[in-house]
Amino acid sequence: MNMELTHQIYAGLAPWFALSLLLLGRSPHPSRTRIIGSLLLGFFLLRIPVGGWHLFAWIRVLEPNPSFTLTALLAVALWHRISYGKIFRAQDWNAAWLFGSLAALTLYPMGLGLTSFDPFVWGWGEFSPIATTLFASILLLRGNRFGIILLLTPAGFLLHLQESQNFWNAVIDPFYAGFSLIAGAVLLSRKRD
């Protein structure tokens, strides 16, 4: 399979999972028909032609590199909605939001020019995948399942599933950053209360 097709298929997973989640709605135990219908409808919605291109191509204009963390978290959320088994507990989600907030606050302000230092360059070095693997191992040793998702980032990066060659794109994207900052702020405000 050529790399361009690999990149396209991988980049389609996150929007497919997100659309399917939206279509499943808030019902706590959706029927099998609804689950299959939502997954299929999500898939076909991405293929709706808009201005000569599939909707997916327009999404890819905005974000060609959904992070492995976002894709995996959406997969976990989807699994929680369509099955009775829970993979993630509250502490695992909290770790995901806190990690996402920290990564976002480290990367985006300086990466977009706040200072003359650019942390985005770390993503082209060997340090970032190693540091992420170490951090994931610590989480796993502490029994936190978000560590498994973090371990997927160097794996996906080494497999070149993304168009980007920068490891930051494997770890975080603006959507995951946005969710994390909102959820992180909610967590902090709850702790204060």
Considering the complex, state which of residue 121 and residue 159 has its C-beta at the smaller distance from another protein. Answer: 121
Binding mask 19-58 for another protein (x = CB under 8 A): --------------------------------xxx---xx
The least CB distance from residue 48 to another protein, in Å, is 14
The least CB distance from residue 8 to another protein, in Å, is 6
Considering the complex, state which of residue 62 and residue 90 has its C-beta at the smaller distance from another protein. Answer: 62
User: Exactly one of 1, 4, 84, 192 binds another protein (CB under 8 A); which one?
Assistant: 4
Q: How many residues are given for the chain?
A: 193
* Binding status of residue 61 toward another protein by CB under 8 A: yes
Counting beta carbons within 10 angstroms of the beta carbon of residue 90, is it exposed (0 to 12), middle (13 to 18) or buried (19 or more)? exposed
Are the C-beta atoms of 21 and 78 separated by less than 8 Å?
yes
List the structure tokens of 123: 């993503």
User: Exactly one of 102, 114, 186, 188 binds another protein (CB under 8 A); which one?
Assistant: 114
Considering the complex, state which of residue 27 and residue 116 has its C-beta at the smaller distance from another protein. Answer: 116
Q: Which residues contact 136 (CB under 8 A, 6 or more apart)?
A: 147, 148, 150, 151, 153
* Binding status of residue 1 toward another protein by CB under 8 A: no
**Distance, CA of 185 to CA of 179 (rounded, Å):** 10
CA distances from 108 to 19, 66, 117, 153, 157 (A): 26, 15, 12, 19, 20
Q: Which stretch binds another protein (CB under 8 A): 18-26, 36-44, 115-123, 185-193?
A: 115-123
The least CB distance from residue 112 to another protein, in Å, is 5
**Distance, CA of 81 to CA of 67 (rounded, Å):** 21
* H/E run at residue 47: none
List the structure tokens of 145: 């399942």
**Distance, CA of 88 to CA of 141 (rounded, Å):** 16
The least CB distance from residue 77 to another protein, in Å, is 22
Residues that bind another protein in the complex, under the rule CB under 8 A: 4, 8, 51-53, 57-58, 60-65, 107-108, 110-118, 120-121, 124-125, 163-166, 168-169, 174
